[in-house]
Structure 1
Amino acid sequence: LSILIFTFLVFFSQNALAQDIGILSEPVPAKKKPTEKVVPRKPLPPPRKAAEPAEKTKRRVILTIISDPLECEIYVNDIYRGTTASLNGKLIVPDLDPTVSYSIRIYKRGIGEELKTLALSQDQELKVSLKEKVANTATDKPNTSPDKPIANPDKNTPPEELVTNTLPTKQADKPIDKAPDKPIDKEPSNPINDTSVAATSNPVSNPSTTATTPTTKPVIMPPQREMVLINAGEVNIGSNSSIKADNFRPQHKVNVATFYIDVYEVNNADYKLFCDATSRTYPPNPEWDSNYFLTKPNYPVINVTWDDANAYAFWVGKRLPTEEEWEKAARGIESRNWPWGKDYQPNLTNLAGAEDGFEYTAPTGNFPEGVSPYGVQDMVGNVWEWTSSSYKPYPGGPDDKRYTLENEKYRVIRGGGYNVLAKGLRTAAFRFPGEFKKPYDGTGFRCAKSQ
Structure 2
Amino acid sequence: MFDHLVSPPVLAPLDDAAYAERLRELEAALAARSDSRELLSLLCDWTSGHRDWNVRRIAVETLAARFVKEAEAREAICAATHDDVDWVAFTAIKAAGEHRLPEAVEHMIRISGWPSNFSRPAYTRKPVGCGAAFTKKALWEFFGTRDPGALRALEDKHFAEKHAAVAAARREPDLRDVVTVPAGPFIAGANVQEAGPFQTDDTDNPLRVVDLPAFCVDRTAVTNARYKEFLLEAAPGGEFAHPDEPLDKDHTPAHWRDPRCNAPELPAIGVDWYDAYAFARWAGGRLPSEDEWEKAARGTDARTYPWGNTWDPDKARCVFGAYGREEIRDLEELEELLVRTTRAWPPEPVLPADALPDGASPYGALNMAGNVWEITRTNFFTRANMAPFFKGRKNPEFMNRPEGFHVLRGGTWTSPPVCLTTFYLGKDLLTDRHNEVGFRCAYDAPVQ
- TM-score class, shorter-chain normalisation, is 0.3 to 0.5
Greater Rg over alpha carbons, structure:
1
Q: Which has the higher helix share?
A: 2
TM-score, with structure 1 as normaliser: 0.45
TM-score, with structure 2 as normaliser: 0.46
Q: Which has the higher strand share?
A: 1
